[in-house]
Amino acid sequence: MWRFFLACFCRHGSGATGARFEAGNHYRKRGILYFTLSLLLFLFAGQLSAQSVTSLRGAVFDGDDGSPLTGATVEIQGAGYVSVSDEYGRFGFDHIPAGEYILKVSAPGYESVYRKDVKVIDGIICLADFRMYRKVYYLGKIMVQGVRKRLTADRVEIFQKEEIIRSRARDIPELLEAVPGVFVQETGAGSGRSQVKIRGSSPEHVLVLVDGHRINSSSNGI
């Protein structure tokens, strides 16, 4: 086409030919410029679509009293994104691709929480709050047994029947007075009862048995 115009105008003179050539060259440059700009805009739009990112924000609370939970771990399953809640229970993810995700929230002493189909949309700050409840532990039967330390006597004196006869003691206090380290004291004038002490110990720490039966008490003696 350009050759046709050039040959035609060459017959009428060089001035008309130069003007027509410059006009064609001008329109040609404008066409190339428009094409280049359109191509760049198309490529730039495709790049933005491929790299579209957004943010996800939220907070974690105690399900019973509504207080914020600090240190709760929020994980986007399968994407490798992890965030930890701050002192106000808040967490956040930045520069994550748009799409649908599964979020897992865990904290020590609380039941883990899962939320499916969390939608992240281009150019929007998405919000997702969570409430967590404490774990309940069920224990089996608990049996508590108390074991008392068996008391042992520091000193034991046994009198056989023959020894009692040979001692000619009139009663048990008189018989015990013959034992070294044993002190017998009457509780009162004319009461007929005595308290027994061994090496200065209290009468309540002394046990006197006759045929296996206790005959003394800490208050009344023998």
Total domain count, the chain: 3
**What is the DSSP secondary structure assignment for residue 43, as one 8-state letter?**
H
Domain-located, residue 220: no
Domain-located, residue 221: no
CB 219 within 8 A of CB 187: no
Question: For residue 165, what pLDDT is reported?
Answer: 81
Of the three residues 113, 132, 151, the one that is the final residue of a domain is 132
| Mean of the per-residue pLDDT values of the chain | 76
Domain-located, residue 58: yes
Domain-located, residue 105: yes
Residues 24, 65 within the same domain: no
Domain-located, residue 69: yes
- Tell me, yes or no, if the pTM score tops 0.85: no
Residues 58, 126 within the same domain: yes
Taking the C-alpha atoms of residue 85 and residue 91, their distance in angstroms, rounded to an integer, is 5
Domain-located, residue 148: no
pLDDT band at 152 (very low <50, low <70, confident <90, very high): low
Residues 75, 36 within the same domain: no
Higher pLDDT, 126 or 212: 126
What range does the domain containing 95 cover?
Answer: 53-132
Residues 127, 191 within the same domain: no
Residues 42, 75 within the same domain: no
Average of per-residue pLDDT across 107-136 = 92
Of the three residues 111, 132, 153, the one that is the final residue of a domain is 132
Residues 87, 34 within the same domain: no
* Count of beta carbons in the 10 Å neighbourhood of residue 132: 21
Domain-located, residue 138: no
Residues 110, 172 within the same domain: no
Question: For residue 156, what pLDDT is reported?
Answer: 73
Domain-located, residue 222: no
Residues 91, 124 within the same domain: yes
Structure tokens at 42: 């198309």
Residues 59, 105 within the same domain: yes
Is the pLDDT confidence value at 21 over 50? no
pLDDT digits (tens, 9 = 90+) for 163-189: 878 887 778 777 877 788 787 877 765
Higher pLDDT, 183 or 131: 131
Question: For residue 26, what pLDDT is reported?
Answer: 57
Question: For residue 222, what pLDDT is reported?
Answer: 67
**What is the DSSP secondary structure assignment for residue 143, as one 8-state letter?**
-
CB 208 within 8 A of CB 172: yes
Question: For residue 28, what pLDDT is reported?
Answer: 63
Q: What percent of the chain has pLDDT over 90?
A: 30
Question: For residue 68, what pLDDT is reported?
Answer: 96
The tally of CA atoms less than 13 A away on the side-chain side of residue 31 is: 6
Residues 61, 126 within the same domain: yes
Taking the C-alpha atoms of residue 89 and residue 84, their distance in angstroms, rounded to an integer, is 9
